[in-house]
Structure 1
């Protein structure tokens, strides 16, 4: 085992960010893999790595703006390693009060030298000490004359995307949404009612020192809890024993409404990461769920999670949802269509998403969703239910696609679709429409 005294926490954070920014790694995957590697570190040390990595990525545009305000060499012309060291350091100066400015500057210089950029130690030191002296007096773009730029810098959202939000939602709602993106996110769990109940799960978690509450949970859901104060999930016996799985409240809501009966046959066409399939399997406890995804790796992960939970009424299939499965036509009592989307409702959990979304990408995804819906709608029996959901907030992917579905295929809406916004305080940004096949 590596000697923990030799682990440079800032170097670990820098290498994670390099993999994300330079090699297009997914933040949550790269960070999770690194934390598993360094699981032997103290909880506070791993928390420091997580906070520094997630915060730096979350605030990247703002951090680059601050660096450019004090550096003669623009961020875009800096070496990747140096840029990331500066970004991490400015994040610590602005958002981590417990770290002294002198320590931030000194550790940044040491890291630059360690990464073979000793010739730039003076540059790193000079820029950071200048920023440290002025960190409380940063001049941001003027909100009244350049709202797009102000919101982009203040909340680290690409300017094109900020403009899109302003056009669709207006100034106030857009800023409320951006503020919500940058707030700490809670961890919600779904009780595995096949093994225990809420009271039993609560007792098991509290016995392990976990803080448990039902605060902020939609009243329609009686099988969920909010947890905090734990070290890591894999360290909890209750997790290893399959008493619960992690799922956001918004995602749980997609299955609500009493449409999944105990003996239902459910098809989940784009099932990864698997929460909805597992949720449906617990509801249809004497029924069956066909869980499908285009990625074999993701299907394996769904199966692994279900096996940990002791759920045996799911079958798994690697399948591209745009290809018609003739064997599934008119077989489903409930069809779950939680389709690939822009993910703008979960920026708070996956901040790297926002740097890769453009208006063109939104339009492409909306068309892909229609392509999938035009294929899979036939899987629903007459009088069966189609649940259409996304983890985004764009009208193109949500309300407009629902309207298109109703206008082109034999479905009618059941009630009003739910558009959950990130700032609502009830979970991630999410859209849910429930439709009934009429003929």
Structure 2
């Protein structure tokens, strides 16, 4: 029988060894161990997510105490040390001695009796001599300091320091490492925000209001979503407030035809269907059955009848959709640098080369999908990154190529979000400055 630490170790091994996504591995593992107490499930989740989130920092710490560097260690020993250092450094409620003893037991149990002394020695040295860890001086090497302190690849830090001042970059980094609450959108077709809040609180969930929209909430202290009646009855959809703002600025009116070209898991499509008040039609599309099945599951759970989902590659022109959309939503594939706080794997997988490829892919998609917008129709371009090349630079390129004009977002946004750029038709949300994911939204009108 595996204890929670061993389950967390297996999860981290799978994520780091097989380049699996943290949220998928955790979801599968927690499904396999549904009989575990809520406290144990939370413990596994915290160790797994925290270790991946802090991986660069943790490896740097281990390497200051070990003559064998982490990249030369056997995978099980490397990851056993990683989850142990995470507990020692970032989980105050866990006694250091227990972390050390359990790590030694696990090394022996998994066939590494001969290396149990090595594990014990490294961890005890870290516990006894914490002052041995030294980071690069911030004044001389700001990128190195920030990279190792906040566990972010230094090339990303260097890019951000070209775009933003040091305090803004620190704010982004600090936000990515904070504990995340789950943001949800109330399904106004079924329930009012006040009723949903009461229902969730009656199920023992902690609920607070969102920052910008009356139908947004942040929740925590629940075991898993499928155990909540309010979720199973379709009273809410998991969606960040930044993503909800896409629906808010779209100006969707009753009777509109809405096409969402890169829709999975369907949050923006479903929000559009709700804004239509059971009228009009939403066509929600993505590139594979796997992705579209997510959308279908959410449609069925929320009970919307004015939305359909289908497999459609956004790079392939759908002749039947030409000039059919009153509103086109295009939340295109991007580097995802705005949502690293929720998906830490992104920071280890994205590269400068991949970013450039994504800019090209976005433009290729835009060349196809803009044809779906009616003359006089609205086009909402969005992405979950804070990289200008994938955002405002692509919008400017697009407006030079095609007959679309930017429109002010201010009539649709809460006043707290108004700025010089929202008057010009776009909004860049930045973690640490805004209380949501990093996200970009532009509103464009087709002229002719």
- Aligned mates of 2:120, 2:60 — CA distance in 1: 18
The residue aligned with 1:241 is 233
- Aligned mates of 2:299, 2:49 — CA distance in 1: 29
Matched, 1:402 2:395: yes
The residue aligned with 2:435 is 426
Residue number among 376, 379, 388 corresponding to 2:372 in the alignment: 379
Deviation sequence 1:205-262 (CA, Å, 0-9, x none):
1221222221x420xx222222222222111111111111111100000111361112
The residue aligned with 1:339 is 332
CA contact (8 A) 1:390 1:431 kept: yes
Q: How many residues align?
A: 431
Question: SS at 1:344's partner residue?
Answer: coil
Q: Which moved more, 1:386-395 or 1:100-109?
A: 100-109
- What are the equivalent positions in structure 2 for 1:162-177 lying under 5 Å apart? 162-177=157-172
Matched, 1:31 2:8: no
CA contact (8 A) 1:94 1:135 kept: no
CA contact (8 A) 1:188 1:248 kept: yes
Gaps of 5+ in 2: 409-421
State the Cα distance separating 1:136 from its structure 2 match.
Answer: 5.1
The residue aligned with 2:112 is 117
The residue aligned with 2:199 is 204
CA contact (8 A) 1:272 1:293 kept: yes
State the Cα distance separating 1:139 from its structure 2 match.
Answer: 1.0
The residue aligned with 1:222 is 214
CA contact (8 A) 2:171 2:433 kept: no
- Aligned mates of 1:95, 1:183 — CA distance in 2: 12
CA contact (8 A) 2:255 2:281 kept: yes
- Aligned mates of 1:207, 1:102 — CA distance in 2: 39
CA contact (8 A) 2:56 2:148 kept: yes
The residue aligned with 2:152 is 157
The residue aligned with 2:249 is 257
The residue aligned with 2:284 is 291
The alignment's TM-score, normalised by the length of structure 2, stands at 0.94
Deviation sequence 1:340-390 (CA, Å, 0-9, x none):
000000000011110111111111111111110011001000110000000
Gaps of 5+ in 1: 1-5
The residue aligned with 1:76 is 71
Question: SS at 1:69's partner residue?
Answer: helix
State the Cα distance separating 1:134 from its structure 2 match.
Answer: 1.9
Question: SS at 2:211's partner residue?
Answer: coil
- Aligned mates of 1:200, 1:429 — CA distance in 2: 29
Q: Which moved more, 1:427-436 or 1:197-206?
A: 197-206
State the Cα distance separating 1:426 from its structure 2 match.
Answer: 1.9
- Aligned mates of 1:230, 1:129 — CA distance in 2: 35
Moved over 4 A (4+): none
Deviation sequence 1:140-162 (CA, Å, 0-9, x none):
11111122211111111112222
The residue aligned with 2:354 is 361
The residue aligned with 1:131 is 126
CA contact (8 A) 2:250 2:327 kept: no
State the Cα distance separating 1:171 from its structure 2 match.
Answer: 2.2
For the aligned residue pairs, the C-alpha RMSD in angstroms reads: 1.2
CA contact (8 A) 1:346 1:391 kept: yes
Q: Which moved more, 1:136-145 or 1:117-126?
A: 136-145
State the Cα distance separating 1:29 from its structure 2 match.
Answer: 0.8
The residue aligned with 1:185 is 180
Matched, 1:437 2:446: yes
- Aligned mates of 2:250, 2:108 — CA distance in 1: 61
State the Cα distance separating 1:110 from its structure 2 match.
Answer: 1.1
- Aligned mates of 1:230, 1:36 — CA distance in 2: 15
Residue number among 152, 167, 189 corresponding to 1:194 in the alignment: 189
State the Cα distance separating 1:194 from its structure 2 match.
Answer: 1.6
The residue aligned with 2:414 is none
Residue number among 306, 315, 319 corresponding to 2:312 in the alignment: 319
State the Cα distance separating 1:289 from its structure 2 match.
Answer: 0.5
